Amino acid sequence: MTSPSNDSAISIARTLAGTNPGKQPSRPTSTINDPQRSKSNSPRTPVHISQHHELSVAEQAALDLENSAAVEQAQNEIDIDSGADARSMSSLGSESGYGSDTQGSSSTSLSSSVRDYAFEHGHRYHKFREGTYNFPNEESEQEREDMKHAMMVNLCQKLHFAPLGDNPQHILDMGTGTGIWAIEMGDLYPGANVLGVDLSPIQPEWVPPNVRFMVDDVESPWLRPRNHFDYIHGRHTVMAIRDWPKLMRRVLDHLKPGGWFELQEIHHYPQCHDGSMPPDHPVTQYWAYIIEGLAQLGVNFNATLLLADMMREAGFVNVTTRIFHVPIGVWPRNKVLKMVGLYWRTILIDGLDPIATGPMTRGLKWKKEEVDVWLAHVRKAYMDSWVHAHMPLHVICAQKPEAGVDYSAESYAPEGMADS
Ligand SMILES: C[S@@+](CC[C@H](N)C(=O)[O-])C[C@H]1O[C@@H](n2cnc3c(N)ncnc32)[C@H](O)[C@@H]1O
């Protein structure tokens, strides 16, 4: 990363408490720490599965039970609700209930070179290092990213798994997107400086005082000091990074000795445990095309499965993987997982066109009209209620060796994580 004073790294840090930059008020957040916090300190309205306030003791106990069953089942086997799609989903809220506000616009003091956008096939893309990332950044995509965040924290029930202690000092979020994770980390660790870096200037201005955002390319050399960060995080970046081994060496270099690296990445290939999804199902074919299109563009979308080994090869120690199954649709019996599945299916259906357009037109050279016709099949297929599909989420943590510690004899692993 380059420094904020460099042309290619314009800081859009904002500490304007009390001002509203016009950023979207209706994006979902997870509010995992304090449900009131989002209302008082953020322009975003929380959309949270687990409303921990205004519950009786018995209701709270039932909710806690459902939550812990969700975490446990998501890592083992998800119980199927046999009447899933027949039952009304009204108690869970409809997809339209997430709300969408496309009126606002952000005004930042970014230089025009990074604030400009590129347009193609009706989508808006980043202009800085144009063409590097193949997915759009328009408002509807930002809302989809925030819904993904809400889905993730309701599934995992935490923002991170690496053991950071109570007082991490410097945290980096690579490919921060809308910055929602970085902002919640800033709230969770008020003593830490949280830096979010992204190619797109799509982060809000009104953020906690310890959170900063910067437009930059994490695959370019970083001018931050070596041995600087306590924790470096990346989430949903597997479709972005071209040279993982190189990036991992850079991460290792810029972490403090003993610092932690964590990636939370979904392997975007639908799977099922009960044979209910035929191999030629349109949703499977859709993801096969995306993977092929991205490969043509120099991105290995299957890299999720390789990340842990790459971390070890880069020199990290205590590499551990935890796998969650993210259901697609409302087929789980558990209420939390049913909601996670509703979120994830909504995210995938809303993302059909923005996800497919770049890889299929740029990578596979399909005409946009051909893509549109094909997507109509896939849209319908996502609603097949007899299919009990999921995608694996890999949470991988790794530590930079402490100077002078012999890790060959080390058997340490973060709590609750299986050695991968
Ligand atoms: C799918 S979004 C995930 C956003 C965020 N990590 C989250 O989980 O909410 C991936 C983000 O990575 C950013 N990105 C892609 N390549 C990048 C690069 N080389 N440097 C910095 N950001 C990048 C994109 O602009 C996009 O906002």
**Cα 197 to ligand 1 centre (Å):** 8
Cβ of 145 closer than 6 Å to ligand 1, yes or no, is yes
**What element of type H or E holds 258?**
strand 255-266
Is 265 touching ligand 1 by the criterion CB < 6 Å? no
Return the CATH number at 374.
Answer: 3.40.50.150
Q: How far is the CA of 138 from the centre of ligand 1 (A)?
A: 13
Decide: 181 in ligand 1 pocket, CB within 6 A. yes
Q: Is residue 26 part of a domain?
A: no
Which residue, by CA, sits nearest to atom 12 of ligand 1? Answer: 175
For residues 127 and 178, give the distance between their C-alpha atoms in angstroms, rounded to a whole number: 16
Query: By the 8 A CB rule, do 141 and 347 touch?
Result: no
Which residue puts its alpha carbon closest to atom 27 of ligand 1? 177
> Is residue 420 a part of any domain in this protein?
no
**Secondary structure letter of residue 73 according to DSSP:** H
Rounded to the nearest 10 degrees, how much is the dihedral formed by the CA atoms of 354, 355, 356, 360?
110
3-state class of 139 per DSSP?
helix
Q: Whose CA is nearest to atom 16 of ligand 1?
A: 240
Residue with tokens 């449900």: 35
What distance in Å separates the CA atoms of residue 215 and residue 202, rounded to the nearest whole number? 9
Indicate if ligand 1 lies below 6 Å from the C-beta of 214.
no
How far, in Å, is the centroid of ligand 1 from the Cα of 126? 11
Q: CA 57 from chain center: how many Å? A: 33
Q: Is 262 near ligand 1, meaning CB less than 6 Å away?
A: no
Contact 8, 216 (CB under 8 A): yes
- In contact, 222 and 246? CB cutoff 8 Å: no
Ligand 1 centre to CA of 171 (Å) is: 16
- The encoded tokens of residue 124 equal 């808006």
How many domains does the chain divide into? 1
> Max Cα separation, the chain?
60
Say if CB 260 and CB 233 are below 8 A apart.
no
Would the pTM of this model clear 0.75, i.e. be above it? Answer: yes
Q: Does residue 274 belong to any structural domain of this protein? A: yes
Q: Is residue 18 part of a domain?
A: no
Q: For residue 236, give both structure tokens.
A: 């949903």
Best residue among 44, 144, 194, 198 to mutate for probing ligand 1's pocket (most ligand atoms within 8 Å of CB) is 198
pLDDT in tens, the chain (420 residues): 543 332 222 222 222 222 233 333 334 444 444 333 333 333 343 333 344 457 888 888 888 888 999 998 999 889 998 765 534 333 443 332 222 222 232 323 345 567 788 998 989 899 888 888 888 998 999 999 999 999 999 999 999 999 999 999 999 999 999 999 999 999 999 999 999 999 999 999 999 999 999 999 999 999 889 999 999 999 999 999 999 999 999 999 999 999 999 999 999 999 999 999 999 999 999 999 999 999 999 999 999 999 999 999 999 999 999 999 999 999 999 999 999 999 999 999 999 999 999 999 999 999 999 999 999 999 999 999 999 999 999 999 999 999 866 665 444 444 444 333
Q: Please identify, by atom number, the ligand 1 atom nearest to the C-alpha of residue 173.
A: 6
Of 178, 195, 313, the closest CA to residue 254 belongs to 195
Residue 382, domain member (yes or no): yes
Instruction: Tokens for 113, please give them.
Output: 């070179």
Which atom of ligand 1 lies closest to the CA of 145?
A: 9
The CB of 29 under 6 Å from ligand 1? The reply is no
The protein residue with its alpha carbon nearest to ligand 1, atom 23, reads: 175
Percent of the chain that is helix, strand, coil (3-state, to 5): 35, 15, 50
272 belongs to a structural domain: yes
Give strand pairing partners of 384.
Answer: none
Whether 180 lines ligand 1, by a CB cut-off of 6 Å, is yes
User: Would residue 31 count as lying in a domain?
Assistant: no
Range of the domain at 222: 37-409
Burial label, 202 (beta-carbon count in 10 A; 0-12, 13-18, 19+): buried
Residue 59 lies in a domain: yes
